[in-house]
Amino acid sequence: MLTTYTTQQLGTLAPHAISDELERGHIVVFDPCPVPLPKSEDMRFLLEELPGRLKLKNISYHRESDRVYGFRGTTQETARITQILKEHSRHVQEFLHQVISPLIPGWVVATCSFRPIEEQGRNLPAHASNELVHIDAGAYGATHGDRILRFFVNINPGRDRVWITKGTFPEIYACWGEAAGVAPPKLLTEGPLQRLYTGVLQGLSKFIPPVQFMDSSPYDRTMRHFHNFMKDSSVFQQSLEGHQEFRFKPYTAWMAFTDMVSHACISGQFAFVSTFIIPLRNCRYPELSPFYILQYGPSGRMTMPGPRPATK
């Protein structure tokens, strides 16, 4: 499930090498981190001053409003963390253009966040907890079947960031779909009213960006339902089916389709997380995506229907 690339290997990649790994549900690791990290005085600011300045679950830069949320500080400090996150997001985007260019046309560059709090024992409400295994759903509003890609960097100088998984979406769907009430498969068609609602919100969001987070769809509601089932079910959380643990070393980076790879962060402090929404139509194996599996089941074959017609 884990594929690691060194800097040297990145120079000799086939165009679809990494995007294919992502679509198959692999976590792609880069050792060392392939993007420049903040300079030492900014690192000191992040590691020493940020933990006491958290107002929400994370400190996040939202590109659509050009603002940072979740941070409590002076105007100068706010400008500083904004600049650090904007710059990191820019570096990650440049790198992704080099290594997964086929997935990028039409992508949405979503939040870039910093996680300054130790994940172990945070005691967040279950549905917000990172310590419980889940697939991501609604990480940046409705996606209508488009994919959630996340790029992580562990900037803790001395400690690993530790993840556990219980497998990929097709595997979890096969084992737990029925118990969760998302199997057997059913069509997640968006009717004319849904499409009108989405279209109106997309238009409005050009003037009032937060409006986009009011959108939903049959797909997004089903994914959220599955996400909540995973976090609420102690039987699922305690199951050893597909269970694996991964340790991400200091100054390494990794990325995954987090709507595909189940994950929980059980310990670690100080990480950057950049989120991107990748159009499903860019995927070479749409039949492996949650959108198709929820509708047609986990066939594991490459003969499923092509990408869905555009709904937005």
Tell me the C-alpha to C-alpha distance, in Å, between residue 295 and each of 52, 122, 183, 218, 222: 45, 36, 9, 11, 11
Distances (CA, A) of 253 to 3, 92, 153, 231, 263: 12, 10, 4, 26, 16
**CB nearer Fe ion, residue 136 or residue 287:** 136
Say whether the peptide bond before residue 279 is cis (omega within 30 degrees of 0): no
Nearer to Fe ion, 165 or 198 (CB): 165
For the chain, how many residues are written?
Answer: 312
User: Counting beta carbons within 10 angstroms of the beta carbon of residue 87, is it exposed (0 to 12), middle (13 to 18) or buried (19 or more)?
Assistant: middle
Q: How far is the CB of 264 from Fe ion (least distance, A)?
A: 8
Residue 226 CB, nearest approach to Fe ion (Å): 13
Scanning 19-27, 103-111, 128-136, 192-200 for contacts with Fe ion by CB under 5 A, the matching segment is: 128-136
Q: Strands 271-278, 108-115: parallel, antiparallel or unpaired by DSSP?
A: antiparallel
Q: Which is nearer to Fe ion, 38 or 173 (CB)?
A: 173
Tell the smallest beta-carbon distance from residue 10 to Fe ion (Å). Answer: 26
The least CB distance from residue 137 to Fe ion, in Å, is 9
Distance, in Å, from the CA atom of 137 to the CA atom of 224, rounded to the nearest integer, reads: 5
Residues within window 190-249 making contact with Fe ion, judged by CB under 5 A: none
The answer for residues whose C-beta is within 8 angstroms of residue 136's C-beta and 6 or more apart is 148, 150, 227, 258, 259
- Residue number of the CB closest to Fe ion reads 136
Smaller CB separation from Fe ion, 22 or 201: 22
Dihedral sign computed on CA atoms, order 239, 222, 149, 147: positive
Could you tell me the two tokens for 118? 């130790």
Q: Please state the closest distance from residue 223 (CB atom) to Fe ion, in A.
A: 12
Q: Give least dist CB 100 to Fe ion, A.
A: 20
| Residue 84: CB minimum distance to Fe ion, A | 22
Q: Shortest distance, CB of residue 185 to Fe ion, whole angstroms?
A: 24
> Which lies closer to Fe ion via its Cβ, residue 21 or residue 136?
136
Element of type H or E holding 60: strand 59-62
Which CB sits closer to Fe ion, 136 or 190? Answer: 136
Distance CA 204, CA 224 (A): 24
Instruction: Give 57 or 86: the residue with its C-beta nearer to Fe ion.
Output: 57
Instruction: Give the CA dihedral 168, 169, 173, 177, nearest 10 degrees.
Output: 120
Does the protein bind Fe ion through residue 259 (CB under 5 A)? no
Please give the size of the binding site for Fe ion, defined by CB under 5 A.
1
Contacting Fe ion (CB under 5 A), which of 21, 23, 119, 136? 136
Binding segment for Fe ion (CB under 5 A), chosen from 82-90, 113-121, 130-138, 208-216, is 130-138
Stretch that binds Fe ion, among 44-52, 129-137, 213-221, 244-252 (CB under 5 A): 129-137
Q: Are 85 and 114 a contacting pair, CB within 8 Å?
A: yes
Amino acid present at 204: L
Beta 2-5 vs 27-30: how paired, if at all?
parallel
By the criterion CB under 5 A, which residues form the site for Fe ion?
136
